[in-house]
Amino acid sequence: MIEETPNPIDPPVNLARKRTSMASFRTKLALDRTTLAWIRTTLTMASFGFGMVAFFRSSQQESPSPESLRLKQGAIRFGTLLIVLGIVATVLAGASHWFTLRRLRRGEPLALSQWPLSITVAFLSAIIGLIGLWALFVR
């Protein structure tokens, strides 16, 4: 952290230091809010996956036809993939937060990676959805 020393000769320097430290503080708060949004998103994904798995496991005994059994097994696999995606995205969000904070503390330049977390999770979600559709209609 930058220590503020009064500079009677150049007061704008003191003002610039205050603004810089406040900008850094606001950046860290924004990073926290982004990470919390990711945690909410991944918890929702995993919760939906757990709900699917629990619902279709409990309903397996009600209709024993081979077609319904295949659909239920596909839904259970899809739910399990959502759980796994939620866990992986949570770990990636935490790692991203930690690395960005470390760069901020060291004063290193910040840059978005070529594959930001949002795009990565979006592609993984799309792939999981396509696999689920393929499994539903092919066989």
How many domains, in total, are found in the chain?
1
What confidence score (pLDDT) does residue 47 get? 93
**Is residue 55 domain-resident?**
yes
Give the global pTM: 0.72
Distances (CA, A) of 41 to 1, 6, 22, 36, 52: 33, 46, 29, 9, 17
**Is residue 58 domain-resident?**
yes
Q: How far is CA 23 from the centre of its chain?
A: 24
More confident residue, 60 or 74: 74
CB atoms within 10 A of CB 79: 22
**Is residue 70 domain-resident?**
yes
Nearest Cα residue to 104 out of 25, 18, 34? 25
pLDDT above 60 (res 82): yes
Which of the given ranges, 23-27, 44-48, 54-58, 102-106, has the highest pLDDT on average?
44-48
Domain coverage including residue 87 = 37-137
**Is residue 4 domain-resident?**
no
Mean pLDDT of 126-137: 81
**Is residue 42 domain-resident?**
yes
Segments of the chain assigned E as strands = none
**Is residue 20 domain-resident?**
no
**Is residue 23 domain-resident?**
no
